[in-house]
Structure 1
Amino acid sequence: MKILLVASMFPPDKGVSTLRMSFFHSSLSEQHKVDILKFGELTDLNGPIKTIDKRLFASLITTLMHRNKILAILEKTLASYDLIIISAPPYNIYEIAYAANRLGIKFIIDLRDQPDLIYSELKNTGNHFLLKSKELLTNRYINKIARKAAFVSCVGGISSAITQKQLTGRGITVINVHNGFQEKDLDFARNLVTHRSVNSDRLIIGCVGSLHRFRSTPDLHYTLKELNSFSRKIVIRHWGMLCKDIESALSSLENIEYLKLPQVSRCDLIQELAKVDAFLLPCSDDLIWEPTTSVFDYILFDKPVIFCGLRNNEAFAILQTVGQRIVTSEAVQHFDNILTLPSRKSDDKTRIYSRENSFLRFVNSMRNFENE
């Protein structure tokens, strides 16, 4: 098949979503001809990596106003493909799915986040009624076009279940395609010498991923204060963005040394993670579907994970499934004892979270409608 993969970003752009899109592209390209359409400063529909003017997608309202214009711009291009795969957020990029539907072209909706993230991100700063209304309208917008899709993919089992329930009675299949690690990552990590400093005067904690405001929870702030009370120095090595609220809290804790580190290659990151004693995994306190991509970095290693946030979310369930040692805020004062506990980690259970394993569901679903 000839496939067009649509997303707001694609390498060399930086971000977690580009990792997902890069994997989709490389995996699908093994059997299909795959091109890219992403946001750009200008519209350029030539070559394998095409761009469409991002100003057309400045907001959902702006995009709806440009619905016919987007169709006119993309009509000839979309018509040359057998399948369109559209990945969001931003959710208004699904307007390209609306265009594909009007042209009678099969498409797949890839839903990386749930719309309630809109509310969670802004609940402390915005009008709750307006935010809930925006979430509701976004859900309706997504679900209306999702009902026309060949199938829908989501990140995580809980997210897939939520979406499947919303589409009940429509005959649409929703599948879980996790943002897992690649199998080569696990094999590489297993051959590294991991760092241990039970008796060291410093505790080195690794943290991967952006700590946005919705992850600045009372649970996280309590945990940081508990770590600050340790007799040995706490060093937090962080690869990602940090919101001002958490930055301010860290700057007030004298026993915690926070190191913001530059982005590094995947290989270098795995080697750096092998050198820490434990990981910090801050999650929101209201998003049950939240997996956070960093959990898949952490389960490459047999190290304790200091967990903050909702205890029954996707990330917590993944840690429990693989047998990772979890240190909650209530138990963080007993960290040294937990560090010496025998491992219950299972390699077999860990491998089910590889990108390759979850992508098989995507490929099998594609084969189902190819054979129709």
Structure 2
Amino acid sequence: MRILLVAPVFSPNNNVAAQRMNFLFDTMSVEHEVEVLVLSDKTSFDGRVKSISKRLFSTSYRAWINRKKIYSLLRGLLPEYDLVVVSLPDYGLLEVVKFCSELDVKCIADLRDQPNLSAVQNIGSSKIINTLVRIKNVLQVKYVYQRLQYADYITVVGSISTSMVETSCCKPVVNVNNGYLLADKKFVSERLALKSSSEKNSLIVGWVGSIYRFRDNANLRQVVDELDALASTQEVILRHWGNCYPELEAYILQCPNLTYENTSNFERESFLTELNVCDCFLLSCSDSLIWEPTTSVFDYLLFNKPVIYSGLHNNEAYNILFNSGVEVVGVNDLVSTASSEVRGIVFDGNTNLYSREYAYTNFKRIVDEVSCGL
């Protein structure tokens, strides 16, 4: 069967969305002929990894305005495939889902990076701006669900998202966790030491993920303040992988005692090795979005270490922590690693449910169903 993956990013990019698409590409290529269409600076349909101009899809509005041009580019390409998988962290790519329906091509709308929350992120202090942002958000949500009606299947992360999308779209919805790789689990359990002696007197808090306004709340700032207070009695390092919007970063940097380190090293083995040095982790989620997916939680599951949680306690990320048995703690529960023994790395069978390989078995059921129908 011929399959086309449509994604904003693909190898060699090292961000989270690219890693998931790379895994999907490699896994499906074992049984099927798989090619990729990626957003890029130019349009080229040559080779196995094709590209289309990202300017056409920069926003849902722009994609809608450019829909005739996009259709003219894709109407000869999409029918060459038996199945198209569209990864949707961007609203604009939803136009491809609609075109697949019009061209009678089976399509999976992959919502595991649910459409970006630009409307929520832009909420500020102005009542007029907030009103306009909320109107925009309502219109975008309506647009998303209208376009999802054209998909044959939809994949999401978690039971909350599954229920919400099923109710809104009346389409087959499959829960497919983003997950970690079993190779990561093997690397962590077999090759990593517990902690480097050079940093034994420091309390290192690992923080993974880009932090936008919608993930910044009073609870998160309280955690930062508590870490700063703890740092007055011992060295505390908040080590962050990802972006942090300027206002929050400025708030963290003004803390007199807390050491803040930001890194962009996501080379997988180096990243896991640095995470392993951490004594605990910080997971920052929105205090209003119950369905919010965050891939950070799957990286944290690889280590038997406490997690400081900021956000709703009835959302998808918290449910994953709770169901996997990870200990959720407050800053006041933390003690100096100089006077306590760092835990070993312990896995139980339940954590395997959050591996990317296990998640793919659910995805594969859809692919096999399409293949059998040909």
Provide TM-score, normalisation by structure 1: 0.91
| CA distance in 2 between partners of 1:135 and 1:366 (Å) | 32
Q: In the TM superposition, what is the alpha-carbon distance from 1:121 to its structure 2 partner?
A: 1.3
Separation (CA, whole Å) in 1 of partners of 2:257 and 2:372: 61
Task: Name 1:257's counterpart in structure 2.
Answer: 259
Mapped to 2, the partners of 1:183 and 1:334 lie a distance apart of: 31
For each residue in 1:249-272, what CA deviation from the matched residue of structure 2 results, as whole angstroms up to 9, or x when unmatched? 221212211111232410111111
What SS does structure 2 have at the residue aligned with 1:237? strand
On the 8 A contact 2:303/2:345 being kept in 1, the answer is no
Q: 1:368 maps to what in 2? A: 369
Task: Show the counterpart of 1:356.
Answer: 357
- Alignment deviations for residues 225-275 of structure 1 (CA, whole Å, 9 cap, x no partner): 111112111111222112212211221212211111232410111111111
> Letter of the aligned partner of 1:262 in structure 2?
S
Give the ranges of 4+ consecutive aligned residues of structure 1 lying more than 6 Å apart after TM superposition: 337-345
Contact 1:323 1:344 in 2 (8 A): no
What does residue range 256-295 of structure 1 map to in structure 2 within 5 Å?
256-295=258-297
Percent identity between matched residues is 35
> Mean alpha-carbon deviation: is it higher for 41-50 or for 238-247?
238-247
- Aligned residue in 2 for 1:146: 148
My pick for the range that moved more, 128-137 or 37-46, is 128-137
In 2, Cα distance between the equivalents of 1:341 and 1:41?
Answer: 47
- Residue in 2 that maps onto 1:12: 12
Distance 2:174 2:212 in 1: 27
Q: Which residue of 2 aligns with 1:101?
A: 101
Alignment of 1:1-372 (within 5 A): 1-114=1-114, 117-124=117-124, 127-168=129-170, 172-191=171-190, 192-195=192-195, 201-230=201-230, 231-327=233-329, 331-336=330-335, 347-372=348-373
Decide whether the 8 Å contact of 2:145 with 2:168 is kept in 1: yes
Q: Is the 8 A contact 2:120 2:137 kept in 1?
A: no
Distance change in 2, residues 1:351/1:116 (3 Å): same
Which deviates further from its counterpart, 139-148 or 256-265? 139-148
Deviations 1:313-347 (A, max 9, x none): 111111111111111xxx32122299779999752
The one-letter code sitting in structure 2 at the alignment partner of 1:174 is: V
Structure 2 CA distance for partners of 1:185 and 1:343, relative to 1, 3 Å:
closer
8 Å Cα contact 1:4/1:84 also seen in 2: yes
Which runs of 5 or more residues in structure 1 are unaligned? none
* Partners of 1:3 and 1:34 within 8 A in 2: yes
| Helix, strand or coil at the partner of 1:4 | strand
CA contact (8 A) 2:283 2:297 kept: yes
CA contact (8 A) 2:83 2:370 kept: no
What do the CA deviations read for 1:345-364 (whole angstroms, capped 9, x no partner)?
A: 75211110001111111111
What do the CA deviations read for 1:72-129 (whole angstroms, capped 9, x no partner)? 1111111211111111121111111222221111111111344583443122256333
Matching residue's letter, 2:159: G
Structure 2 unaligned segments of length 5 or more: list them. none
Output the amino acid matched with 1:8: P
Shift of 1:369: 3.2
Q: Deviations over 1:293-316 (max 9, x none)?
A: 111111101111111111221111
Change (3 A) 1:298 1:12: same
Number of aligned positions between the proteins: 365
Normalised TM-score (structure 2)? 0.91
Q: Distance in 2 between matches of 1:342 and 1:277?
A: 9
